[in-house]
Amino acid sequence: GSTGYSVSQNGTLVYQTGSGQLGSRLLRVDRGGKETSLSPRVAQYWHPRVSPDGKRVAVEVREHGETGLKNGPMLILNLAGGTTASLAGEGFRGEWTRDGRSVIYIRRTAGVADLYSRPWDLSSPERLLVHGTDSASFYEVSPGLRRGLTAVRRGGGPRGAKTEILLAPTESLSAERPFLSKFANMTNPVVSPDGRLLAYTSDETGQVQVYVTPIPGPGPRIPVSTGLGQEPKWSPTGELYYRDGQDFVAATIKTEPSLAVAGRTPLFRDIYILQGAHADYDVFPNGDLLVLGPPAADNGANSEIFVIT
């Protein structure tokens, strides 16, 4: 079947048939753009996350169903041994706990998103942490303060819809408190390693941009990206990575004498899979990136391009 098409202003149609991109590969990319494959297996990987010690990856795998892709298993990949274990039969948007012992993930049942956790070594069964009430909620765990903080987004969607970002102690996720509320689509809330800043994206100006604001607030809220900015992620050293539509960028944020962007460094061309609403990459302890790349074998050998005038 057709895997992609485009129509010009004069009515010319171009489309491609064949295998298309049937999945993705897990890749490690250093700050100079050099790639290393982490898993030869091609699958529908989504939202990979590196453990705090950089030794393991938690990643969800989507499966094909009657109505398209559906949530599949949450896997743990041991990078040193090359082994794979199934953490949960179904789970998505997994995040490592601050101590690196467990993964927190969401499971949606009957439209409700419940939050679970389980040790990566499968030493005990999964545990229900919070019974959700809103299927649009998602959670991001940050290895920041002594107790850790979790940012929660509720709502969002079309431009102008109300979105709430809440903060909660990681050890007591039900004790959430309001932090930001806007009639805009705010996504990707992430807490800095030291727990002093929150980064997120918002489309309130008509374009999606990355912003930072201090915790616990209130305080200034400044744009980090000069134009398009998506999928912010903090590095362990405190740099803020994001995607500007062309490159991966590393921004340096200063808090004294006032909150400001001290610099932006383009790292390498962003040719990797991007989902937008939730970061499809992560950062290793040394600053390398974990990204999703197209299948190496999908080089067009089994596809054809047609033009209809």
| pLDDT reported for residue 18 | 42
| pLDDT reported for residue 301 | 42
| pLDDT reported for residue 297 | 46
| pLDDT reported for residue 120 | 96
Beta bridge partners of 240: 234, 251
The CB-based long-range contact list for 126-133 (8 Å cut-off, 24+ gap) reads 126/87, 126/88, 129/104, 129/173, 130/173, 130/174, 132/106
| pLDDT reported for residue 70 | 67
| pLDDT reported for residue 304 | 61
Question: What are 232's two structure tokens?
Answer: 């912010």
- Provide DSSP, 61-117: EEEEETTEEEEEEEEEEETTT--EEEEESS-EEEEE-TTSSEEEEEEEETTEEEEEE
| Spans of the chain below 70 pLDDT | 1-10, 14-22, 40, 64-70, 133-148, 154-161, 296-304
Q: Which amino acid is at 168?
A: A
Please name the residue that has the structure tokens 């107790």. Answer: 147
Cβ neighbours of residue 10 closer than 8 Å, sequence gap 6 or more: none
Alpha-carbon distances, residue 170 vs 10, 37, 141, 151, 191 (angstroms):
55, 32, 7, 9, 12
pLDDT by residue (tens digit) across 16-49? Answer: 554 344 689 999 999 999 999 997 688 899 999 9
| pLDDT reported for residue 154 | 66
CA dist 100 and 85 (Å) reads 16
- Residues 227 and 249: beta-carbon distance below 8 Å: no
The predicted model scores a pTM of 0.81
| pLDDT reported for residue 252 | 97
Question: What are 237's two structure tokens?
Answer: 């050293």
Burial category of 29 from C-beta neighbours within 10 Å (exposed 0-12, middle 13-18, buried 19 and up): buried
Cβ neighbours of residue 66 closer than 8 Å, sequence gap 6 or more: none
Please name the residue that has the structure tokens 């398209």. Answer: 68
Question: What are 57's two structure tokens?
Answer: 């990856």
- Residues 21 and 13: beta-carbon distance below 8 Å: no
